Amino acid sequence: MGLEEKLPDGILLTSVEKLVNWSRKSSLWPVTFGLACCAIEMMTFGAPRYDSGRFGMEVFRPSPRQADLMIVAGRVSQKMAPVVRQIYDQMAEPRWVLAMGVCASSGGMFNNYAVVQGVDHIIPVDMYLPGCPPRPEMLIDAVLKIHAKIMNEPLGPRRKASAPDRQVELIPSSVRYAK
Amino acid sequence: MAEYDDEPTGSALGFAKGFGLTFSNMFRHVATEQYPFDVKKTAPRYHGRHVLNRHPDGLEKCVGCELCAWACPADAIYVEGGDNTEEERYSPGERYGKVYQINYLRCIFCGLCIEACPTRSLTMSNEYELALDNRQDLIFTKEQLMAPLLPGMEATPHPMRLGDTDTDYYVREKGLGEVGDIQSTANAAAKTHSGRAQAIEVGRHHA
């Protein structure tokens, strides 16, 4: 029809971008990756009381190829580090990483030779979540902040080049979703 | 299998009984908390983000003693003390916390720093939504941790408003040692026993 040629640059594709980002954030399947005590809180996050199904992510995938989000829940020992990296590599793009708890984020109170001092030494991290362990609300908050980041993500390299520095403000969820 | 004979398996009754149990769950109370839309209050003493408190006139309670940093099992707190001068005063007394940083990617929210604090400067709030996307911003500085100025408070630095010496900020007992005053005698007796802790306790009541 030639309509898309007459449309100003950005109108058609931003709508597609929004739709794609919305579908990506609405079913963000996490990979089952509990390493320590944070995993207990992560299980609570999936259980009926906090019900991650409300955000379309109740299904924890044991298969990394079917997962979009890696919640690194717990301290990563030096021996576990190559496993973390391999599972991350097996995940299909686009993929996101949430470092849950202080141990995954920076090593926490385990400042010693056995523990990786932050999982960002081996994989890129999209969200750092403090707490020891963080309560399920904190994890929901971090996940919703990742959702905000996904909604802001450019679709394809050309779009990325046209809007190189799009920052999203990470507002606390109780403020963002206040009634 | 004789003990199961009275079970209505295989019949229409068994079918109804089985699915009836499933169906009855439809009417049970839903336990799910609607977190971001309906936030439940935490316990009053929940260990959340720290706050550095102020005296009633706005001077900082922190004296830069670094006891919180010593108590911290995760080495999350960094304190650098500074000297107060008459021209530039941040806290009553000699010293104040010049640099104060808490690394929230190390902090395990155990509260040992709160127990260690001799002036009750450091306390914890109920705020917990702290997730951010870079490590630098999760090291909270003094400006972020200081309590907001309430009505009647004045931004530091400023001279002492509540008295001439720093003891006016901590021990403010009138008529101490007067004959016949039972309350003050009891206070004085307790003071000789537990010294410093008691003085702080009294200061806390007045603050």
SS (H, E, C) B157-197: CCCCCCCCCCHHHHCCCCCCCCCCCHHHHHHHHHHHHHHHH
Question: Which residues does A20 contact at the CB level (< 8 Å), separation at least 6?
Answer: A155
We report the CATH number of the domain holding residue B82 as: 3.30.70.3270
Chain A: closest CA distance from residue B138 (Å): 8
Chain A: closest CA distance from residue B143 (Å): 19
B144 is written with which tokens? 């972020």
Considering only CB atoms, B32 lies closest to which of A48, A108, A132, namely: A48
B140 falls within a domain:
yes
Q: Where are the beta strands (DSSP E) in chain A?
A: 30-31, 69-73, 96-100, 127-129
d(CA B13, CA A174): 49
Considering only CB atoms, A102 lies closest to which of B32, B37, B108, namely: B108
Residue with tokens 């597609």: A16
d(CA B71, CA A125): 30
B15 falls within a domain:
no
B85 falls within a domain:
yes
Average pLDDT value for chain B: 81
B189 falls within a domain:
yes
B1 is written with which tokens? 């299998």
The complex scores an ipTM of: 0.84
Chain A: closest CA distance from residue B78 (Å): 15
Q: Please, what is the Cα angle at B60 between B59 and B62, to 5 degrees?
A: 150
Provide the residue range defining the domain that includes B59: 50-200
A173: which chain B residues are within 8 Å (Cβ-Cβ)? Answer: 35-36, 129
Confidence of residue B107 (pLDDT cuts 50, 70, 90): very high
Considering only CB atoms, B105 lies closest to which of A54, A128, A136, namely: A128
Whether the CB-CB separation of A105 and B135 falls below 8 Å is answered with yes
CB atoms inside a 10 Å sphere around CB B72 = 22
Chain A contact for B125, CB < 8 A? no
d(CA B102, CA A56): 35
Q: What does the pLDDT profile of chain A (179 residues) look like in tens digits?
A: 455 556 565 666 677 888 888 999 999 999 988 899 999 999 999 999 999 999 999 889 899 999 999 999 999 999 999 999 999 999 998 899 999 999 999 998 999 999 999 999 999 999 999 999 999 999 999 999 999 999 888 877 767 777 667 788 888 888 888 87
d(CA A65, CA A90): 6
Instruction: Kindly report, residue by residue over B127-155, the tens digit of the pLDDT.
Output: 999 999 989 999 999 999 999 999 888 88
Chain B contact for A67, CB < 8 A? no
User: From A175, which residue of chain B is nearest by alpha-carbon distance?
Assistant: B36
Chain B: closest CA distance from residue A6 (Å): 39
B135 falls within a domain:
yes
Cα-based torsion angle of the residue sequence B152, B157, B159, B162 in order, rounded to the nearest 10 degrees: 40
Mean pLDDT of B114-136: 92
- DSSP-assigned beta bridge partners for residue B55: none
Mean pLDDT of B79-98: 92
- DSSP-assigned beta bridge partners for residue A48: none
pLDDT of residue A18: 87
Range name among A57-71, B40-54, B106-120, B161-175 with the lowest pLDDT average? B161-175
B25 falls within a domain:
no
The DSSP letter of residue A14 is H
Q: In angstroms, how far is CA A45 from the centroid of its own chain?
A: 15
Comparing CA positions, the residue from A139, A141, A152 lying closest to residue A174 is A141
Residue A119's φ and ψ, nearest 5 degrees, are: -75, -10
Note whether B32 contacts A111, CB cutoff 8 Å: no
User: From B47, which residue of chain A is nearest by alpha-carbon distance?
Assistant: A131
Whether the CB-CB separation of B114 and B72 falls below 8 Å is answered with no
pLDDT greater than 50 at residue B207: no
pLDDT of residue A12: 64
User: How many domains in chain B?
Assistant: 1
Note whether A49 contacts B32, CB cutoff 8 Å: yes
Chain B contact for A141, CB < 8 A? yes
Range name among B16-30, B49-63, B174-188 with the lowest pLDDT average? B174-188
Mean pLDDT of B23-32: 90
B16 falls within a domain:
no
pLDDT of residue A155: 76
B20 falls within a domain:
no
pLDDT greater than 50 at residue B188: no
